[in-house]
Amino acid sequence: MKATFTVETFSFAGAGVHLRPSGNASLLHRDAIKAQLRGLPEGHLLGAFQIASPDDLHSDIWEMHPTGDEVLVMLTGELGVEYSDGFCRGSSALGSGRGVVMPKGVWHRLLLREPGLLMVLSPSQGTKLSRSPGQA
């Protein structure tokens, strides 16, 4: 019996991959990624994003993922990461080649220090946004 499958290469910057709990992966195409993000089923989103200006980060908006941890890896460039769980607040630098695991339920925002490429593994559902940490 002959197996049927598709192997597709893609440019990672600006594209995304949705990883389902079953282990299946679906490519989210660069030209339609925003529309594809709406209504994704449970799982995680893997993506890489070129960060050229503070607008690329929505630095004035805090986010929190109640359904799982988020992994941020700065491939090139540098970001500042501010975080708060409602009781404790902190910040750290995320330089080229460095990563951080942002725990489930922790509010955070990213601040541009040097343009670069950011890779993200984030829960695909439930993200909360706020102008200040803890105020969803």
Using the Cα atoms of residue 62, residue 68, residue 69 and residue 70 in order, give the sign of their dihedral.
negative
Residue 5: which region, alpha, beta or left (left: phi > 0; alpha: psi -120 to 50)?
beta
Percent of the chain with pLDDT over 70: 90
Would the CA dihedral through 48, 120, 36, 83 be positive or negative?
negative
Q: CATH code for 50-136?
A: 2.60.120.10
Name the token pair of 102: 């942002």
pLDDT digits (tens, 9 = 90+) for 105-133: 999 999 999 999 999 999 988 899 998 88
Distance of alpha carbon 100 from the chain centroid: 11
Would you kindly state where each structural domain of the chain is located, as residue ranges?
Answer: 50-136
